[in-house]
Amino acid sequence: MLVLPVEATPVPGRPRAPRPAGVLIGTLVLAILTFQLNATLLSAALPAVGTQLGESMQDVARVQSVFFLSGAVFGMVFSRWSDFLGRKRSLVIVLTLLLIGTVVCALAPSLPLLLLGRVLQGASNATFTISFLLLSERLNSRLFGISVGIITSVNGGLFGVDGFLGGYVTDTIGWRFLFVITLGLGLVAIGCVALFVPRDEPRTQDGSMDWWGAGILSLFLVLLTSLISQASSSGWADPLTLGYLVGAVVSATVFVLVESRTRRPLIPIHALRSRQVWPLLLSTVLTLAGVFSALNFTVVMLSQNQQVGYGLSASMSALLYLTPTAFVGVTAAIFSGWIAVRIGWISSLRLSSGVIVLITVGLAVFALDRWLVFGLLIVMGVFYLGLFQSSVNGVSVLNSPPEARGALPGLNGACFGIGIGTGIALVAPVVATGTVAGFQTALWISAGLTLASFLASLVLRPAERIGA
């Protein structure tokens, strides 16, 4: 009997695609766009939403935060539930929730109803993890790698056009029409899923969904997200911050105790403790914390600072330091899955993590050189938005325990949001000083986070599958 690493071994029993792979991939891209466009189109419309509904910007900001928090919870739950329901049926359910939520948003006369609609729309985040799982089961290793790159590129948006479209539609027609656009896309997506996604195979996993575990882990995610947000705004000594911290620790402890006694746990505790799982989750959190805080927060704030920074306007800052990085990253992601298959998924993850460390150190050292920063961010787009995100998504599918295939992709998806919130919470206080030392310290913090992520990737091991 031979033991082979997962990088060289397709999932056992994986049938070849019964219909053209391009049709299946294209259908899943449509499904994923329903989440991505709902995430990006509304960003530029928030001031208009607040004006029409008579709400402050602080309150309107919850339109985005509840969407992403809901996405983290729904993504984790539906990813695992699809092991029992089937991938196609799960996609239809999350897209149905999206459509209902979109109608609620389009007609919402008040902020509470708009927030309810956004919570329902957040279910569409599960399209990512379910798509990765479905593709791993339906395609061979080479096509799976290519498809992971394509799906990951969708996560970067439409080459920056979606953000512009959101602002243009808001200015010319009104923000509610954005939901008409996503409603139309959702209807097309659910129709294509019904027609072109292969029928679910007979259920192979006995037992039922671990709803106790799902509920407790969802509570932990809500408390952890609230902890990060509260710590960022009020500090770690704030009583409410400490309350969230205690709640998060208690819920995590209860989750471990409950899962240790459950016959079909959400994710086996022994797997969570293994070097195939926890280093991957840690690497995701740390990389997102380090890179997002540097790219989307510190550099943006530095570029707009009139005293010690580059003194750019908001639009020029985005044009120079966000749009080119996103464009290059989306393009690179299309090919990154193919590269990961060629050199190995974990090797690809380590390579991208190592280069990201060097780039982030370069940003900290040359923070005041605007054109060198511009060049470094272009390279960051290739290795972070392209190679790293494709690699981490692929490994999450391939390293997921066979008795809980949907568990690791769902948890890894939740780690994206946790990492983003953690990074901003760590650097925001020093960036707020508005000094050269403050900006450079923030970038060194980001560099330290990416270095820790690279070290975690060295601990990571591929899952082992038994073959004859």
Which of 151, 172, 199 is the last residue before a domain boundary?
Answer: 199
Question: Averaged over 369-379, what is the pLDDT?
Answer: 93
Residues spanned by the domain of 151: 1-199
37 and 132 part of one domain: yes
226 and 168 part of one domain: no
Distances (CA, A) of 6 to 146, 395, 417, 465: 17, 9, 27, 6
297 and 226 part of one domain: no
Contact 431, 442 (CB under 8 A): yes
Q: Tell me whether residue 92 is in a domain.
A: yes
- pLDDT digit string (tens) for 282-294? 999 999 989 988 9
Strand ranges, E, within 270-366: none
169 and 38 part of one domain: yes
148 and 285 part of one domain: no
306 and 334 part of one domain: yes
Model pTM score: 0.79
Residue with tokens 């006995």, as numbered in its chain: 206
13 and 57 part of one domain: yes
Q: Tell me whether residue 287 is in a domain.
A: yes
Cα–Cα distance for residue pair 421/263, rounded to 1 Å: 33
Which of 240, 263, 286 is the last residue before a domain boundary?
Answer: 263
pLDDT at 296 over 90: no
408 and 285 part of one domain: yes
pLDDT at 166 over 80: no
pLDDT at 16 over 70: no
Look over the chain and give the mean of its residue pLDDT values, rounded to a whole number: 84
The dihedral over CA atoms of 212, 456, 301, 414, expressed in degrees to the nearest 10, equals -20
Question: Averaged over 406-419, what is the pLDDT?
Answer: 84
pLDDT at 468 over 50: no
Which of 155, 173, 199 is the last residue before a domain boundary?
Answer: 199
Contact 259, 388 (CB under 8 A): no
322 and 278 part of one domain: yes
Cα–Cα distance for residue pair 391/149, rounded to 1 Å: 9
What is the predicted pLDDT for the residue at 8?
39
Q: Tell me whether residue 101 is in a domain.
A: yes
32 and 81 part of one domain: yes
Question: Averaged over 3-17, what is the pLDDT?
Answer: 43
Helix (H, G, I), strand (E, B) or coil at 174: coil
CB atoms under 10 Å from CB of 404, counted, come to 20
Q: Tell me whether residue 204 is in a domain.
A: no
Contacts of 208 (CB under 8 A, 6+ apart): 84, 264
Q: By C-alpha distance, which of 418, 456, 77 is closest to 277?
A: 456
Q: Tell me whether residue 205 is in a domain.
A: no
pLDDT at 388 over 80: yes
What is the predicted pLDDT for the residue at 13?
45
Q: Tell me whether residue 290 is in a domain.
A: yes
451 and 330 part of one domain: yes
Indicate which CATH number applies to the domain containing 351. Answer: 1.20.1250.20
195 and 301 part of one domain: no
Instruction: Determine what percent of the chain is predicted with pLDDT higher than 70.
Output: 90
Looking at residue 462, its amino acid is: P
For the chain, the domain total comes to 3
